[in-house]
Structure 1
Amino acid sequence: MSDPILRIAAKGDGLTESGRHVAGAVPGDTVDAAGTITPGPHHIDPPCRHFPQCGGCELQQADDEVLAQFVGERVAFAAESQGLEPGVLSPPHLSPPHTRRRASLHAQRAGAKVVIGFREGGSHRIIDMAECHVLHPALFALVDPLRRLLGHWQGRLAADIQLTLVDQGVAAEIRGIVPDGLAQTEALLDFARDNGLARLSIDEGFGAEPVWEPQPATVTLGGVPVDFPHGAFLQPTQDGEAALLSAAREWTAGAGTIADLFSGLGTFAFVLAGSAKVLAAEADRAAHLACQAAARSNGKAVHSLHRDLFRDPLTAQEISKFDCILLDPPRAGARNQIDMIAQSSASRVVYISCNPQSWARDARRLADAGFRLAELRPVGQFRWSTHVELASLFLR
C-alpha cells in the first residue's frame, strides 16, 4: 500500500500522514513500503545536472507551488509552535532562479585538475560546478576563469572563494592561497583585470587584503552608495531584499523616529530615512563606519551607532524614545534586545528574521509583553533550499 506525501518537513524530506520521512519526495507523490516514490503532479525534473549531489540545493524536484507552500508552512508552523496566530499571513515570496548575488565556493586540486563548487550535502567533497541555477550569471561566469587561475598554482590547493555582486561588478575574496613571487602576483592581477573584477582580495590567514580595486567597492542601499567592507553582510538576492524593504516601508510609515537594530551597512536605514530619523545600531565596526560615512556624505538622517546589541542591548528607556523599532538580527535571534523591547513602552516592532525558530522564541516574548502578531510575510530568498526568511509586524 502506498502512502501519500502531504508536505515537506523542515530538512527537506517528504512527510506522510503516518510521520514517515522520504528523501526526494514532494506533496502529491506516493511512496510504497519499499521506499519507491511515484511522482505526482508537483514533482518535476530538476533543472541542474548536479542535483541532488550538490549541497547548494535541496528541493529542485519541487515545482513553484510546492516551494511556496514549504516556505509559507515553515514560517506559519514556527508561529504556531509558540501559540501565535498572525492577523494576516501573506502569500510567500519566492526569489527567481539566477539571482543569488553572494556565494561561498570551495576549490581544491583533484589530480591534474582543479574542482570548484559547493560541497556535497553532508560531505566535504566538492561538486565540480558545470552549471548553477541559483547564482547570478555574473558570479557563475567567474567559475571557469578561477579554475584556470588556480590550475597554475603550485603545490597543495584547498581554497575558499567568496563572491559578491557589488555596484562595480564582482568582489572576489580567496582564502587559502599565498602568492609566491612576482609571477603569481601578476597572474592574480591579470585575472582581476581580464574579468573586470570590482575587487580581488587574498586572505593569507590574517584577514583579507585587496590586491586589485580600481575604485572603492560599494553597494547602493536606498539610493546611497555605501562602501562594502570585506565580509560585510548583504541580503542574498536583490529581489528578496526588495520584498523585505517593501514590508519595512509599509509597516514603519508615519514613524518620525526609527531604531534600526543589527543594521549592518544600512540596508533598511537608508530606505527608511526619508521622513523619519533613523538610529542604525551595529556591532561590526567596519559596517558601522561604512554606514556612518555614507550617511554623512549623502546628508541622510541616519545616526550610526557602534554597539554590540547582544552584550549591550538598547535599554527599555532608550527603546521607548522611538516611534518604531526594526530589527534584523543574525540567526541566533535577539533574546536580550527583545527583553528590553518587551519592558519598554514601544508599540510597533518590525522583526526581520532569517531563522523562523529563533524568531518564534523572540516572538513569544513579545506576545507575553502584550504585543500581537499583526502580520507575517514568508520570504524564500534561498531558492530550492530549506533556508527560509520572514518579515513580521508586532503591535500593542
Structure 2
Amino acid sequence: MSTETVTIQKLGAQGDGIAQGTDGPIYVPFTLPGESVAIARVKSHGTLMSIATASPDRQEPHCRHFGPEGVNGACGGCTLQHYADQPYRAFKRQLVIDALRSKGLTPEVDDIIAARPGERRRVVFAARKTEKDMLIGFNQAESHHIVAIQECPIASVGIMSRLPAIRAVGAALAVSAEAFRISVLETLSGLDIAVDDIKKLSDKQRRSAIETVLTLRGIARVSLNGEILVEPMKPMVEFGGVQVSPPPGAFAQATKPAEEAMAELVAAHVRKAKRIADLFAGSGTFALRLARIGRVHAVEGEDKPLAALDHAARNTPGLKPVTTERRDLFRRPLMAQELKAYDAVVFDPPRAGAEFQSKELARSTVKKIVAVSCNPLTLARDLALLVESGYRITRVTPIDQFLWSSHVEVVAALEK
C-alpha cells in the first residue's frame, strides 16, 4: 500500500472518482471531479484519506452511515450522496447518453425524472445474528461486512419505522451466525418480508417464528426461501387501480413514483393500440394498466407472478381481455411470425436485456415498441438491433429510481 495525492478527473460508470496514475486509472470512491485528494492506494483502488481541494459540487451526505467515516463503516447502499443534486442528475443522464453513443445511437435524451428521499418501497437488507445482537443493514462495498444501520434516507417511512419488527423477524428465523438476506416490500396491507439463504427450520423453530410474527404489527406476510411461513394479511399492491397480490419475493419496481412515471410513458406511446404484448410481464406492472387500452397478452418466465397477474385480471371489472403465457423469453423469444398479431409490444427484461427477443422484434412488423430497462448498456445493444432494422427512436427518458446510486432506469419508445 502506498500513500499519494491525486486529482480526480471524472466519475466512472459505478460512481467512483477516477484519477490517472502513471500505470493506469485509479478508482477512488466518495470523490468528485476536480478534487485533489490524498489516498491510500492498492493497485488501481484508492481509499480516500483526506481532501486537499474540494469540489464546489460537494455537499454534506444525507445519512450518518455514508462515506469512509460512516457510522459502523461505509454503507454500500449509496455511492453519490456527496454530490449536489443538479450535477448528480446530469451525471446519471449522461450515463444513458454515453451508453447509446457506444452503439452509434444519438437520440435526444429527456431530462432525468428525479427521485426523492423516502420513496423506496422495496429494500433488500443484509442480516446476521451475533452473540449479542441481530445485525440488519447493508454490506460495505466489495465486502461481506454488514453495516448495521440506524437510518436510511432513501427507504420509506413505512419500512424504517418498522425496522425493530424486521429485526425481530430476522432474529426469530436465524439458526446460525451465517449471513442471510431479508427483502422487504411495503404493500397496501403491510410489509411483505421474504427471507432467503437460511437453512431449513426445525418444527419447533418454525412454530416459534410464526408466534413471533403474529405478535408484530404491520407485517402482512413472512416467507422463507420462497415458502409462505405466515400470512396475517394478504399483501396487496396496486397497478393503475388494479389490486394484485404478488407471490413471495416477487419483483416490484423499487419506488411507486418511478413505476407511475414509467407506466405513463408506456401508455402514452402505445395509446390506441388494440392488441398489445407485454413481455417479461412479472405480476402485471404494465399489462394490467394496458388492459384499459386494448387486449393484452402477458408473457412471463415464472408461473407464480403470472398466476397473480391472471387472478387480478379476472377479478377486475372494466379491463379488456388479458391472456397469459409462461415462456422463457431468453431461450424461446416470441418469433417475428407470432408478433404479427400485435400493434404494440412492451418489454422490460432483467439487467441482461433482451437480445434474442430484440432480434425477433427487429424482423417483425410491430408498429410501436417500448423498451424499459435498468441497464443502459444492454438497452443500447437491444435498441441498436431495432434501429438497424428500420425502427426509429422517438423518445428516451431516464428515471432516477435508484437514488444516490449509479443505477438508472430508462424508458425508450420506438416506431417502425
Counterpart in the other structure of 1:44: 59
Structure 1 pair 155–219 and aligned structure 2 pair: CA distance change class (3 A): closer
Counterpart in the other structure of 1:351: 371
Give SS of 1:312's match.
Answer: coil
Aligned residues: 389
Two-structure CA RMSD over aligned residues (Å): 2.4
Task: Please say if 1:84 is aligned against 2:105.
Answer: yes
Larger deviation: 303-312 or 68-77? 303-312
Counterpart in the other structure of 2:335: 315
Distance 1:225 1:394 in 2: 30
- Of structures 1 and 2, the one scoring higher in RCO (CA 8 A, sep 6+) is 1
**Equivalent residues in 2 for 1:106-255, closer than 5 Å:** 106-148=126-168, 150-151=170-171, 156-158=176-178, 159-175=180-196, 176=198, 179-180=201-202, 182=204, 185-203=207-225, 208-255=226-273
Structure 1 pair 286–41 and aligned structure 2 pair: CA distance change class (3 A): same
Give SS of 2:257's match.
Answer: helix
Identity %: 33
Distance 2:273 2:148 in 1: 50
1:327: Cα distance to partner? 0.6
1:395: Cα distance to partner? 1.8
**Equivalent residues in 2 for 1:271-350, closer than 5 Å:** 271-299=289-317, 300-301=319-320, 302-350=322-370
Residues 170 and 182 of structure 2 are in contact (CA less than 8 Å); yes or no, is this contact kept in structure 1? no
Distance 1:153 1:20 in 2: 42
Residues 221 and 266 of structure 1 are in contact (CA less than 8 Å); yes or no, is this contact kept in structure 2? yes
Residues 192 and 199 of structure 1 are in contact (CA less than 8 Å); yes or no, is this contact kept in structure 2? no
Of 26, 33, 39, 2:32 maps to: 26
Q: One-letter code of the match for 1:85?
A: T
1:89: Cα distance to partner? 1.4
Distance 2:342 2:251 in 1: 25
Residues 179 and 185 of structure 1 are in contact (CA less than 8 Å); yes or no, is this contact kept in structure 2? no
Distance 1:255 1:148 in 2: 49
User: Where do 5+ consecutive residues of structure 1 fail to align?
Assistant: none
Give SS of 1:93's match.
Answer: coil
Of 259, 270, 279, 2:277 maps to: 259
Larger deviation: 172-181 or 128-137? 172-181
Give SS of 2:139's match.
Answer: coil
Give SS of 2:148's match.
Answer: coil
Larger deviation: 178-187 or 131-140? 178-187
Deviation per residue, 1:37-72 (Å, 9 max, x gap): 522221111111111211111111112112211210
Residues 192 and 248 of structure 2 are in contact (CA less than 8 Å); yes or no, is this contact kept in structure 1? no
Distance 1:395 1:70 in 2: 28
Larger deviation: 145-154 or 6-15? 145-154
Counterpart in the other structure of 1:371: 391
Deviation per residue, 1:250-298 (Å, 9 max, x gap): 1111212211111111101111222311111111111111111111111
1:347: Cα distance to partner? 2.6
Residues 107 and 157 of structure 1 are in contact (CA less than 8 Å); yes or no, is this contact kept in structure 2? no
1:6: Cα distance to partner? 5.8
Distance 2:123 2:339 in 1: 35
Residues 107 and 116 of structure 1 are in contact (CA less than 8 Å); yes or no, is this contact kept in structure 2? yes
